[in-house]
Structure 1
Amino acid sequence: MSIPVISLDTDWHQAQNCSLPSELAPWILEPASLTARLKRHCGHFRVQVLNEQRTALPVFLQPLLPNTLQAQLREVILWCDDKPCVYGQSWLPEKTVNALRPLADMGERPLGDYIFQQSGLQRGSIEVTQLQLTLPDAGSALCYTRRSVFRLNDLPLLVAEAFLPAMAELKAFA
């Protein structure tokens, strides 16, 4: 089994029940595409793929993606104006990837650009936690992190996004 760059094995809480920092709350609670929102707040956007591979779904994630043994793990950093702003981790069950072939090889394309264009997309509740992250090119910090289970044509996928310190430098805060 492959080990993700960042482990999501921690306590999560419903976002609406949490006290969130005012500067991050609109980002954490964003119900639409985080990718689209990031692109609106920076001049140059890019995706850096850290890890992408098929692997066993960790036991602690199995309640979120029931009946899933194998999944495609994808870890990325979303860069805005050459600043690492968001760490993203997605878990796509084998049955989801097999049915929705464009998800099989996203490369440096943002996942949000694909899934939010699909009419059959439903988002589960947003959960939050704080994670200590150490990432290549992005340093180490305690970061607010959100996750949601999406259903695309009734096929599940899990997306988690950690808001890195450079988020404070986006034009949205100027």
Structure 2
Amino acid sequence: MTAVLSLDASWQLASTQTVPLALAPWLLEAASLTARLKAHSTDFRLQLLGESAITLPTFLQPCFQQPISTCMRREVVMWCNQQPAVYAQSWIPNQSIQQLKQLAILGEQPLGELLFQFPDVVRSPIEVAQLPLKTAPFPVVAGNYWARRSVFTVAGQPILVAEVFLPGVISI
């Protein structure tokens, strides 16, 4: 399965100067994005688009502190008030799945709900970029969308999470 969106972009550290004012509270949120979406929505649901074992693309390798070969790529859409609000890609190295077995059986449970349950979760600085989205398996107008990414470390295991903020997030 080909990813809905390539994360190959010019990423930069996030700050109030690098992001649009209307999206800053979302892009710069350090706590659980899932919890924030649920708090601002009367109808939240997660749609699992797919999970596949895949070789980590070379352009993502610098995100990890150690060499990573194979990962599970997980793609989801978080819907709020019946609109697609956030498209997310997670890259979970095989060794992270071996150490944290619950990562392999998430299904339609949000990854953020699991990650923020761990007392030792650490998040790298948030980076932002604009990503072109041409087509998608959910209703969205083609265009450039703001995204953020960071690496979470739980029990010493890394997980790369990238989230693309769709127009539905502005309306909640």
TM-score range, shorter chain: over 0.9
After superposition, where does 1:54-73 map in structure 2 within 5 Å?
54-65=53-64, 66-73=66-73
CA contact (8 A) 1:73 1:91 kept: yes
The normalised TM-score by structure 1 is: 0.93
Aligned position for 1:141: 143
Cα deviations by residue, 1:3-23 (Å, 9 ceiling, x for unpaired): 322110111000027432111
> For residues 98-126 of structure 1, what are the alpha-carbon distances to aligned partners after superposition, in whole Å with 9 as ceiling and x for unaligned?
11000012111100000001111000000
CA distance in 2, matches of 1:28, 1:21: 9
Q: 2: CA distance between counterparts of 1:108 and 1:161?
A: 16
Distance in 2 between residues matched to 1:40 and 1:149, nearest whole Å? 24
1:1-174 matches, cutoff 5 A:
2-16=1-15, 18-65=17-64, 66-133=66-133, 134-139=135-140, 140-170=142-172
1:141 touches 1:164 (CA, 8 Å); kept in 2?
no
SS at match of 2:15: helix
Check conservation: 1:77, 1:85, Cα contact below 8 A. yes
Unaligned runs of 5+ in 2: none
Residue 69 of structure 1 deviates from its aligned partner by 0.1
TM-score normalised per structure 2: 0.94
SS at match of 1:62: helix
Amino acid at match of 1:149: V
Instruction: Give identity over the alignment, percent.
Output: 46
How many Å apart are 1:141 and its aligned residue? 2.7
